[in-house]
Amino acid sequence: MESHETYMREALVEAEQGVLEGEVPVGAILVAPSGGIIARAHNRPITLNDPTGHAEILVLRQGASQLKNYRLPGHRLYVSLEPCVMCVGAMIQARLSLVVYGAADPKGGAIESVYRLGTDGKLNHRLEVKGGVLAEECTSLLQAFFKAKR
């Protein structure tokens, strides 16, 4: 089985693609229970004119479409930035088993930083979470993007 770092590097490749499109560099990978990558996406709300065009939502849509099932039990999602409230809600609805993220989001993170959705036991599904995987690389990419925008 591939390591968390290997999958996070794939999420970073997606995030870098977002930079090329002028999008905030967040990338996501969906991994099947067997270990293979079944979907990949990067942020595209600007390109798609869609406020739900976050990498996590797009990768969940791809995976669900491919499997012809809105539930994705046993699947793992790797994302370069701690997910927001909207994205965590979708992950809970999909019944993911594990969410792995890189950079923490102290202003909008909904898994550990600001909120603890999906991990606090208050909802009907509990997510297993591993944060901080390749955090420096993920954070550096975001910081460079925003520095260039200023």
Q: Which residues carry out catalysis? A: 56
Q: What's the CA gap between 105 and 83, in Å, rounded?
A: 8
Q: At what angle do helices 55-67 and 4-20 cross, to 10 degrees?
A: 110
Q: Could you tell me if 63 and 40 are in contact, meaning their C-beta atoms sit under 8 angstroms apart?
A: no
Q: What's the CA gap between 29 and 132, in Å, rounded?
A: 16
Strand partners, 37: 31
Q: What's the CA gap between 127 and 73, in Å, rounded?
A: 11
Looking up tokens 């701690």, which residue turns up?
A: 82
Question: What are the E-state strand segments in 71-142?
Answer: 76-81, 98-103, 128-130
Put the strands of the sheet holding 37-42 in their side by side order. 37-42, 27-31, 76-81, 98-103, 128-130
